[in-house]
A and B are shown apart, each in its own frame.
Chain A
Amino acid sequence: MENTQKEESVQKKKFNYKILLRAVLALLFAALLIAVIILALYTDEKNGVVMGSEYSFVTKGVHSKLCNSNLISLIEEKENLFSTEKENSDIFNINNALKGEQVKISAETMGLLLLAREMYVKTEGAFNIAIYPLVELWKFSPSTFNYAVKEPPSDSDIDSMLQYCKFDADTFILDNENLTVTKKYSESKLDLGAMVKGYNLDIARQNADDYGLSYSLYSFGGSSILGYKKSYNIGIIDPNNKERVLGSLLLPENMCISTSGTYERFYKDSAGNIYHHILATNGKPSTSGITGVTVIGESGVLCDMISTAVIVLGLDKGRELMLEYGLTGIIVTQDNKYSTVGNIGFYPEIDDYIRI
């Protein structure tokens, strides 16, 4: 009797031990499994402000935190080159220089200026980074803009500014060899605002390549997006009615999408007339009737430039320009019409617009 009792208690102990071991193994296994799943699903979301506009990144992959922190640092560094406000940036120095002064700039800034020159010539002045003195006159610059009711500048003020606002080789001498810029007029000023958000996408792409990132969605200013190594479903907000989405399209892998719109900055005068910030070659807000443009292409900076140019150029010339550069997109007019350019898979979600 005693023997079996002892045997039983020994058996019981062995039994407990085995169960305990199994429980511990199971827990370790579960912990490992959970860790693996979390790492696989890990999404880093970053939102903030850099170089005067907001950014939003949604990135998959554990090392994304490091990659995106580096991206922010890279872009913050660019402020020392491109900012109109930051003392001693290339653009600041150019803007504050006197006529005839040879301003030394970085190769990177020169690269963007040459690109802007090419686009200025190509669009016959529709895309013009030298229009900044007029932008300031109209109170559309970052430091002067607000929504308060105000009177527009007079025609004579606008006319006298126009001569300083040319970006031809005569008004701005770009010496690529010596990396200098020389102005004809002290009053002339440059602003890279219409290029920088798109350029940031190109920087983001290069940085992600360097870090071997899996995939990510990069957005700058709510108007320039890159779908890195993945295609994303993008909703296009109706430029005529910001409450709703015009439709959606699939942004192909590694492509950039950029929008420009007259709704971005505008104000009214006391009579209720609306003035928006995209100035045409006559120094006044463009009257082409286009309210919003969406451009899709590989190069971020190119898409950004062209989206602005198309608003000034109008529907036909704008579409021509986009097709010439192999870009696709959507053009929306103020009278509730829209046109798709090139082959894009656009799914409209409104039914009160006419497709042209």
Chain B
Amino acid sequence: MTKKEKNFCKKPFSVWDIVIYIVFTVFVIISVVFVFTGEKGNTVEIYLDGKHLYSFELSTDRVIELEHNTVVIENGEVYISYADCPNGICMDTPPISKVGRSISCLPNKLIVYISGDSDYDAVIGGGL
């Protein structure tokens, strides 16, 4: 071992420690923040009775069969193709494709909602 190394090992705490900790901290902060707030594609979130069931990419076509409803993701849009509710309003609702919009089957407590990056924190006024 060289003299430098010996000195390095002898001192319990040195300037180098502080530098390494700072660099390490910055690295951790950046990576955690990036993971949590990084850009993601638009996702279809499905909630049933207040519980989050699924997250699916809006870009991938898919048919989701639930007990009382069938949700379809197709060509970047999502709609409810089947429901056993009495009035069928959810089935008559046009497909949605934009972030912040939702289609719900209220009697079955189903919410299908598109989340992702948006210019707005929320949208209002699209109807039920």
Q: Which A residues are within 8 Å of any B CB, using their own CB?
A: 8, 11, 14-15, 18, 22, 26, 29-30, 33-34, 37-38, 41, 45-49, 52-54, 56, 58, 72, 143-147, 217, 219, 221-223, 225, 232-237, 239, 242, 245, 248, 257, 259, 261, 263-265, 292, 294
B32 and A37 contacting across the interface, CB-CB below 8 Å: yes
Instruction: List, sorted by A's number, 16 A–B pairs whose CB atoms are closer than 8 Å.
Output: A45-B52, A49-B50, A49-B110, A54-B104, A54-B111, A143-B86, A146-B89, A222-B102, A222-B124, A225-B124, A233-B119, A234-B123, A235-B118, A259-B125, A261-B125, A263-B127
CB distance from A266 to the nearest CB of B (A): 9
B120 and A47 contacting across the interface, CB-CB below 8 Å: no
Partner of A49, one of B17, B20, B33, B104: B104
Which A residues touch B110, using CB under 8 A? 49
A48 and B109 contacting across the interface, CB-CB below 8 Å: yes
CB distance from A57 to the nearest CB of B (A): 11
A245 and B122 contacting across the interface, CB-CB below 8 Å: no
**Given A18-B9, A235-B119, A37-B29 contact (CB < 8 Å):** yes
Partner of B124, one of A15, A52, A146, A237: A237
Alpha-carbon distance A30/B30, docked complex (angstroms): 12
Residues of B99-121 at the interface with A, using a CB-CB cut-off of 8 Å, are 100, 102, 104, 106, 109-111, 113, 118-121
Which B residues touch A235, using CB under 8 A? 100, 118-120, 122-124
Instruction: Give chain B's interface residue range (CB within 8 Å of chain A).
Output: 35 or more
CB distance from A276 to the nearest CB of B (A): 11
Known: A34-B28, A38-B36, A222-B126. 8 other contacts (CB 8 A): A22-B17, A48-B111, A52-B106, A56-B102, A146-B89, A235-B100, A235-B122, A294-B124
**Given A49-B111, A233-B120, A72-B50 contact (CB < 8 Å):** yes
Which B residues touch A52, using CB under 8 A? 106
A232 and B121 contacting across the interface, CB-CB below 8 Å: yes
Alpha-carbon distance A134/B37, docked complex (angstroms): 50
Q: Which of A54, A223, A236 has the most chain B CB atoms inside 10 A of its CB?
A: A54
Alpha-carbon distance A265/B87, docked complex (angstroms): 13
Alpha-carbon distance A248/B113, docked complex (angstroms): 20
CB distance from B71 to the nearest CB of A (A): 14
Alpha-carbon distance A233/B47, docked complex (angstroms): 24
Check B59 for interface membership: any CB of A closer than 8 A: no
The 7 closest A-B pairs by CB, nearest first: A48-B50, A235-B120, A235-B123, A259-B125, A232-B121, A237-B125, A147-B92
Which B residues touch A58, using CB under 8 A? 121-122
A236 and B125 contacting across the interface, CB-CB below 8 Å: yes
Partner of A248, one of B1, B89, B120, B127: B120
Partner of B106, one of A49, A233, A234, A239: A49
